[in-house]
A = this chain, B = another copy of it.
């Protein structure tokens, strides 16, 4: 199978088309370098339009995109010391992301010597794009290190809202699950495709950035579109019923996308968002020994249907004023649904995009499992932080929750054709 020339052609076909491919022809080669790598080697349409999302656009994909079934989330520490190296990394990531989200191999079109490592690690060969989206963010530490030093000449453009999240009551954060200079959220319907993407981005980053922490999630816990049924979290309850949905563009504009005038120091972030990531361990075994009555009181909804305990169906608005025969509110004062409701939070809403996770078990046989919370907000200072401050203090569910990881990232707007991730911040 080795060619005598020591060259093995690898072209810009989709991975799926390569299934029947065995080495002939040389048409369609497309260069990798220069941050341009979005041209399709073939002019035909995508094989299945619902299978892939464009990497380019006004906003990054993976935010209002209907939530895929799986996530592989990764945070990186930048080891490069010059802005030029950082820009090179972001350009290379841009090219690779544009390829992989279309189901193409990394570096496709570039014939590589047989004695070089393959351009793509290969485990997604033959798999469709699986609705892969790759969403990138910048952490506060990219702008200033722990000593306040301006690492890449970006400090004066650090958004005012991009600070490490405050310590919330009952936080039990682990350093090795928190923070990071850069992040990538890889969502796909096939975990092998999501893992392949993070692995190849890590590989491309070699020498410029190193994986700091990563998290796999397997069951989306929120819908981001009215076309999706509400999934269940590991407490067995529907989660995200009241989530912001892509079909509410006015609300998304108001609560998710950073506006052009939001922060005069960070106009580069207009059209972007903030990503809050929290690894929330659930005390599975104690929860499973709790009565259904107690569970529903803590959540404020019934388990079967997801209706508020004040009555109605899943999407009925809770009535916080209704009281039972005992004179107590039907939706308890300390219930999660009440404390998190916009009417109790000055109208604040979030676009949630979390996933369930299970990472084995501890020495006592307890599952290391819970919710990998992801939310996109326009301003964490008025949305996530005040809400979580209240939840951490008052939410009865907190007895069963432990926040073990935390990070905040500024998510730049989408990449224009010919541009690269964060170019409005980095190019000048």
Q: Which A residues contact B (CB, under 8 angstroms)?
A: 1-2, 6, 8, 18, 21-23, 70, 72, 76-77, 112-118, 120-126, 176, 190-192, 195, 199, 202-203, 206, 210-216, 218-219, 229, 232-237, 284-285, 288-293, 295-296, 302-305, 307, 309, 311, 313, 356, 358-361, 363-367, 369
Contacts and interface: CB of A to CB of B under 8 A. Distances in A.
A191 B218 contact: yes
A203 B115 contact: no
Contacts of A190: 219
Contact of A195 (B70, B114, B115, B218): B218
A118 B292 contact: yes
Given A117-B289, A117-B290, A202-B367, A125 B232 contact: yes
A356 B215 CA distance: 15
A285 B121 CA distance: 10
Contacts of A307: 1
A359 B360 contact: yes
A361 B116 CA distance: 26
Given A115-B293, A192-B218, A202-B365, 12 more contacts: A1-B302, A1-B307, A2-B293, A2-B302, A72-B358, A77-B365, A126-B229, A195-B219, A203-B285, A211-B361, A214-B367, A216-B358
Contacts of A22: 304-305, 313
14 contacts: A2-B309, A21-B305, A23-B304, A117-B289, A122-B237, A123-B356, A125-B304, A126-B229, A195-B358, A199-B367, A203-B285, A213-B361, A214-B367, A359-B360
A369 B192 CA distance: 12
Contacts of A121: 234, 236, 288
A210 B365 contact: yes
